[in-house]
A and B are shown apart, each in its own frame.
Chain A
Amino acid sequence: MATGKHDQTLFELSLRMGDNALILGQRISAWCGHAPVLEEDIALANVALDLIGQASLWLGFAGEIEGEGRTADNLAFLRADREFRNCLLVEQPNGDFGHTLMRQFLFDAWHLPMLKALTLSSDERVAAIAAKSAKEATYHLERSEDFVIRLGDGSDESHRRMQDALDVLWPFAGELTCADEIDVALADKGLGPDLGAIGAEYKEYMERMLKKATLTADWQAPIRKGGKVGDHSEALGHLLPEMQWLQRSHPGAVW
């Protein structure tokens, strides 16, 4: 990673926020034309569009901070897996519709309070991107929460699938609220929030919502983490060649 005169923690924050949005946006874009019903197909595509738009704002900002001329597109399409800073949760495969919704729910429930907290960042550009994104994340969460409750507390089949999805994905949720030294440095500078406070809010919310959805999380499960520092699961290695294929094969191609 670049180590110039720029603020490295602010650069990392922008990459983390941008890569989470980009990779999740790429994942759910794959549902376009394949969702179980038309309305959901459109909903998934719309959420993907919001996330990719947000990724473009964050990564564009990251490129500006770095000051080496890299654009949002350069960062999205020309970095290797170890340079991505998204959490492991968002790169996990789509699985069935239940997995996709559960992954979205676990992410949205963190994303919204995180963005709201970032609107108070001491960096006004971070605050502006966060305020814009928070409006979108509000209805992402409304939708995923609604679905997880309905399907968790639905038929035997839908309940079984949502519980399966939670069992697989829950260990990845911990990374979202697990502060490392960069998060601590960001909080110290007033650039980012205290992740511990976001984590407490997340836990309280999850307990309440999962109860409504009649689902059970394993609170003792060890946290699966590493994505925030570039230590990714195999899943990202499969996602990137597809996402980056065009720019890798035809460098500099434009519309």
Chain B
Amino acid sequence: MASAFSSRRCLVSIMTAAEKAGEASGGQSSSVDRVWRWLEEVPDPEIPVVSVVDLGIVRDVSMEDGKYVVTVTPTYSGCPATAVISLDIENALHARGLEDVRIETRLSPAWTTAWITDNAREKLKNYGIAPPVEGACVGAMKAAGPVACPRCGSLNTVETSRFGSTPCKAHWRCNDCLEPFDYFKSF
């Protein structure tokens, strides 16, 4: 881990002196905005087409005593990706030259798929994962409405298993194109 980390740091440019100077002169909100932009490039370890920001996992970025604090929320309490996500965020910010980074975990309010951005829903669909169908019964895993097949768009689809390859997905099948597909559960 240590060696992979240091080699990553060598590959990317660190903050320029001018950028650091800008920060010192009180450009705090702009530097926080920049951290948000960098985090938008950190992919989810399980579904790399979407970022940790797209998924609503990053809840806040702030600066406390010269230290960046990134607040994250777990998707599912046992999701093994949670620890990897925190590490990826730290590594990504270190690679940009930010040495002092702290990751905080926030449980409340609990993560919901309603926080997934529209842009990310489109990316999920193009990747072959039907995005969550949000509705009145968020929290109950039954889809609130018909789930469109991400391949052919048909609404003639059926759930084959409420559990899939990761905690956030269910197995579905399209009755028209007959392809199985993953559905990102509304949660």
Contact A131–B110 (Cβ < 8 Å): yes
Let me know if A138 is at the binding interface, CB within 8 A: yes
Which of these, A52, A53, A142, contacts B141 with CB under 8 Å? A142
Of the listed stretches A41-49, A167-175, A237-245, chain B binds A41-49
How many residues of chain B get a CB closer than 8 Å to chain A's CBs?
25
Let me know if B107 is at the binding interface, CB within 8 A: yes
Taken together as a complex, chains A and B put the C-alpha atoms of A131 and B142 apart, in Å, by: 19
Let me know if B163 is at the binding interface, CB within 8 A: yes
Which of these, A39, A53, A138, contacts B77 with CB under 8 Å? A53
Scoring B residues 114 to 126 as 1 if CB is less than 8 Å from chain A, else 0, what string do you get? 0000000000000
Taken together as a complex, chains A and B put the C-alpha atoms of A57 and B106 apart, in Å, by: 12
Minimal beta-carbon separation of B60 from chain A (angstroms) = 16
CB-based closest 4 A-B pairs: A53-B78, A53-B77, A39-B161, A128-B108
| A residues at B contact (CB < 8 Å) | 25, 39-40, 42-43, 45-54, 56-57, 124, 127-129, 131-136, 138-139, 142-143
Can you spell out 17 A-B residue pairs with CB atoms less than 8 angstroms apart? A39-B163, A42-B163, A43-B163, A46-B163, A48-B78, A53-B77, A53-B78, A57-B107, A124-B108, A128-B107, A132-B74, A132-B77, A134-B139, A138-B139, A138-B140, A138-B141, A139-B185
| B residues at A contact (CB < 8 Å) | 74, 76-80, 107-111, 139-142, 160-165, 167, 171, 185, 187
